[in-house]
Amino acid sequence: MNDRDKTATATKSAPDRTIFSLLHAARVLEGKVETALDSVGLSVPKYSVLSELVSADAPLSLGELAGKLSCVKSNMTQLVDRLEADGLVRRVDDPKDRRSVKAAITEEGRAKQAAGAEKLDELHERFSASVDDNDRSAVQRLLTALE
Amino acid sequence: MNDRDKTATATKSAPDRTIFSLLHAARVLEGKVETALDSVGLSVPKYSVLSELVSADAPLSLGELAGKLSCVKSNMTQLVDRLEADGLVRRVDDPKDRRSVKAAITEEGRAKQAAGAEKLDELHERFSASVDDNDRSAVQRLLTALE
DNA sequence: CAAGATTGAGAGTTCAATCTTC
DNA sequence: GAAGATTGAACTCTCAATCTTG
C-alpha cells in the first residue's frame, strides 16, 4: 500500500504528507484547549504558570518559571505582570537573594487553576473515549520518533 | 471550599495524556518547520501567503487571503504590510471594486517561496522515512476522530 | 564579571471600532 | 445597511540591551 511518493524532489507544489495533517490536528487540539481554559477566564500560558506554582506548592522565581515553561525570562516578566494585574499571583521578594523576585499564587489564582484543570480533564475524557488503544500507542510511537 | 486534593488533579493526568503529548509533538514539529523556513528568511505566515499567491497564480484580495489562512482580516493587513516592506508582494488596486486591495507576488517573492518549498520538501522526506505506513494511517484515523 | 530581572523593539495574533465604498 | 480594508489596543512571544546585585 505504498504507491504514493512518485516524484520526490521534482514536484514542489504537490501537497500530500502526514506531517502537515499532524500539524493541523495540533492546531485543532490547541484550539480546544484554549476554548476550555477561556471558559474559566484563563489563557494557556497563564494556566501553565499557575499549574507550576500549584505543583511546586511554593513561590518560584521568574527565572525558574521561565525554565519550566521553556520560554525566555523577559517573557515571564510580562506574563507575571498580567497575572498580577488579574490578582492571580503576587510578586514577593526573596530574602536569600535580593536580585531574585518570586511569584506566589493567590487564593484566587488557586481557584482559577483548579477550575482550569477541571475543564482540561473533561476535554481529555472526551478525547480518550473517541480513540482506541491501538491508535493511541501508534501515535505515541510516532511522536517519540519525532525527536 | 477548595481543599486542594493533590490526588485529584495530579495523578489523573500523569499516566495517560496522549492529548498533551500530541500537543507537545506539534510544538516540536512546528519548531522544525519554522527553522527550515527561517533558513531562507521566511516565517510560517509569510510563506503561507506567498504559497497561496503562487498556487492561485493571480493577485488575491486581502480578504480572500485571510479566508484561506483562516485568520482575521486585520491580521492580513499587517502581514501584507511586512511582506510589502520585504519587497515580496505589492499592493495593487482592484479596478472592479474600489474598496478592494489585492496582493500581487513579486519576482523576489516567487523565488523566496520556491526556496521555502524546497526546504519543506526536505523536511518531509526525513519525516516520512522514519514513519511506517501502519502508524501513518493510525494518525489519519485519530485526526479525523478529532473534529 | 555572572546571574537575577526588566525594558524596548518587533513579529504574530485577536477583537472592537472606524472609514470608505458598494 | 453591508462588505472591503485599516487602525488601535491587548496578549504572547523573542531578542538585544540595561540595571542591579552577587
- Top mean pLDDT of B1-10, B14-23, B107-116 is at B107-116
Q: Is the CB of B143 under 7 A from strand C?
A: no
Residues of chain B (21-80) having a beta carbon less than 7 angstroms from strand D: 61-64, 66, 73-74, 76-78, 80
Q: Which of the two residues, A85 and B6, has the higher pLDDT score?
A: A85
pLDDT band for position B4 (cuts 50, 70, 90): very low
pLDDT band for position B12 (cuts 50, 70, 90): very low
Q: How far apart are CA B70 and CA A103, in angstroms?
A: 37
Q: What is the pLDDT of residue B50?
A: 96
Which of B29, B75, B23 has its CA nearest to residue B49?
Answer: B75
A83 contacts A48 by C-beta, under 8 angstroms: no
Size of the A and B interface in Cβ pairs below 8 Å: 132
A25 contacts A43 by C-beta, under 8 angstroms: no
- Pairwise CB contact (< 8 Å): A18 & B131: yes
Task: Give the three cell numbers for residue B114.
Answer: 520556491
Nearest to B22 among A12, A107, A139 (CB): A139
Q: Is the CB of A43 under 7 A from strand D?
A: yes
**Is residue A141 packed enough to be buried (19+ CB in 10 Å), middle (13-18) or exposed (0-12)?**
middle
Q: What is the pLDDT of residue A14?
A: 35
- Protein residue closest to D8, using CA and C1': B74
Backbone angles phi, psi at A123, to 5 degrees: -60, -45
Cα torsion B25, B26, B31, B34: sign: positive
Q: How far apart are CA A104 and CA A94, in angstroms?
A: 11
Q: What is the pLDDT of residue A78?
A: 96
Tell me the per-residue pLDDT of B114-141, one tens digit each, with 9 for 90 and over: 999 999 988 888 877 777 777 777 777 7
- Pairwise CB contact (< 8 Å): A23 & B26: yes
Q: Is the CB of A45 under 7 A from strand D?
A: yes
Q: Is the CB of A35 under 7 A from strand C?
A: no
pTM of the shown model: 0.80
Q: Which of the two residues, A15 and B41, has the higher pLDDT score?
A: B41
A112/D9 CA-to-C1' distance in Å: 25
Tell me the per-residue pLDDT of B45-68, one tens digit each, with 9 for 90 and over: 999 999 999 999 999 999 999 999
B109 contacts B50 by C-beta, under 8 angstroms: yes
pLDDT band for position B20 (cuts 50, 70, 90): low
Angle at A120 between CA A116 and CA A123, to 5 degrees: 145
Q: What is the pLDDT of residue A58?
A: 96
Q: Which of the two residues, B70 and B14, has the higher pLDDT score?
A: B70
Average of per-residue pLDDT across A46-57: 96
For the stretch B51-58, contacts whose Cβ atoms lie closer than 8 Å and that sit 24 or more positions apart, written own/partner, are: B51/A13, B51/B113, B51/B116, B51/B117, B53/B89, B53/B103, B53/B104, B53/B105, B53/B109, B53/B113, B54/A13, B54/B105, B54/B110, B54/B113, B55/A13
B61 - beta bridge partners? B102
Is B105 in a helix, a strand, or coil? Answer: strand
Residue of A nearest to B114 (CA): A12
Tell me the per-residue pLDDT of A117-147, one tens digit each, with 9 for 90 and over: 999 999 888 877 777 777 777 777 776 766 6
Average of per-residue pLDDT across B84-89: 94
- Pairwise CB contact (< 8 Å): B23 & A8: no
- Pairwise CB contact (< 8 Å): B18 & A139: yes
Residues of chain A (101-140) having a beta carbon less than 7 angstroms from strand C: 101-102
Share of chain A above pLDDT 90, in %: 59
Strand order in the sheet with A60-61: A60-61, A101-105, A89-93
Weakest mean pLDDT among A7-16, A18-27, A84-93, B33-42 = A7-16
